[in-house]
Amino acid sequence: MDLQILELFSGIGGMHYAFKESQIPGQILAAMDINTIANEVYIYNNRQTNVLNNNVQKLDVKILKKLQINCILMSPPCQPHTRLGHRKDIEDNRSHGLMHICSLLPECKFVHYILMENVKGFEESLAHSMYIEALKKGGFYYREFILSPTQLNIPNTRYRYYCMARRDKNFSFQGERIWYSFPIIKEQKKCINTIMDILESNDLVCRDFLVDEKTLDRRVLVMDIVTFNSINTMCFTKAYTHYIEGTGSVFCPLKPEAMHQIFEKLAYLDKDNSSKENKLVQRRELLQSLRLRYFTPREVARLMCFPETFDFPLKISNRQKYRLLGNSVNVKLVSELIKLLYL
């Protein structure tokens, strides 16, 4: 059976690219999101897909049946289950879309496959309990995971909750537990292994991506700094470049030993008895010599395994690009799950 897919909460099309990467037979029949900017990016890259700019709460069984789908790929809003979102769970208005889907699933006998992604922590929520109950009522068998791209040797930590469901109960691995690693991985294409593999040419990286002097002075000690040979980065969130701590890594083009020497000099400078004005000048020079910069949107997209053909319309700002990427999925990891779901 070829997959006839509806992509819900589709964003910039991460699930779309994951399906393409999986090489499973089928097609994306339609995608739906309420975010108009995300939809513009989706259409810009996938003009052949019917992108519906609408709230998923407008869906009903009749509409879903008319679309002639047999598979749903979805990534509902994660904010109701995050610290920054105050973990309001189903009391958060942004949970209403998923709750509406839960109400429809028991009647959707024509849907045979579902893959859902959300933030780590969703598995402890009331929304999770309601979703699992809806799957059971709908006659689905399911498997749950908490996985990170690092398990595929991709240098980016991004733990996420995943749930695959289908009407065939003959999974080749057991349920009744959450999997924290891939139970089966098919032969893969070569993945990126170090930061060097995703960097843009220095000629293409303008001064706009350098960490500004004020941020360096105040926040350098809480930054997650990586170099050419680093094999991991922090999870990039939609607040990247807007906030420093916990939103993603920054890049230092120096060799690790040279970078460490600069930090040793900074530590020594704090103990120096020279004049305050002289210390400020030296500190500023040392911080600038680190040449720290943010990863560009293209580099973040590469870490998330979007293909080189993926791009943004010219009018989309870098701030918007980071927000959209932060809300998306790792394409390679999801493609492996689609294979597990189907095969």
Active-site amino acid positions: 78
Q: Which residues contact 266 (CB under 8 A, 6 or more apart)?
A: 283, 286, 287
Tokens 């941020």 appear where?
Answer: 215
Query: How far apart, in whole angstroms, are the C-alpha atoms of residue 184 and residue 127?
Result: 28
Q: Which helix (H) or strand (E) holds 306?
A: none
Alpha helices by DSSP H, listed for 272-317, are 276-289, 297-303
Residue type, 83: R
One-character DSSP codes across 144-169: EEEE-GGGGT-S----EEEEEEES--
* Residue in the structure block whose two tokens are 């500004």: 212
Q: Are 38 and 11 in contact (CB under 8 A)?
A: yes
Residues in the chain: 343
Which one, of 117, 249, 264, 261, lies nearest residue 194 by Cα? 249
Q: Which two three-digit tokens encode residue 320? A: 């918007």
Torsion over CA: 128, 129, 135, 141 (sign): positive
Start-to-end CA distance of the chain, whole Å, equals 11
For residue 198, CA distances in Å to 20, 230, 231, 329 come to 21, 11, 11, 17
| CA pair distance 267, 272, nearest whole angstrom | 9
- Asked if 151 and 182 count as a contact pair (C-beta separation under 8 A), the reply is yes
Secondary structure (3-state) at 260: helix
Give CA–CA dist 36/52, Å, rounded.
Answer: 10
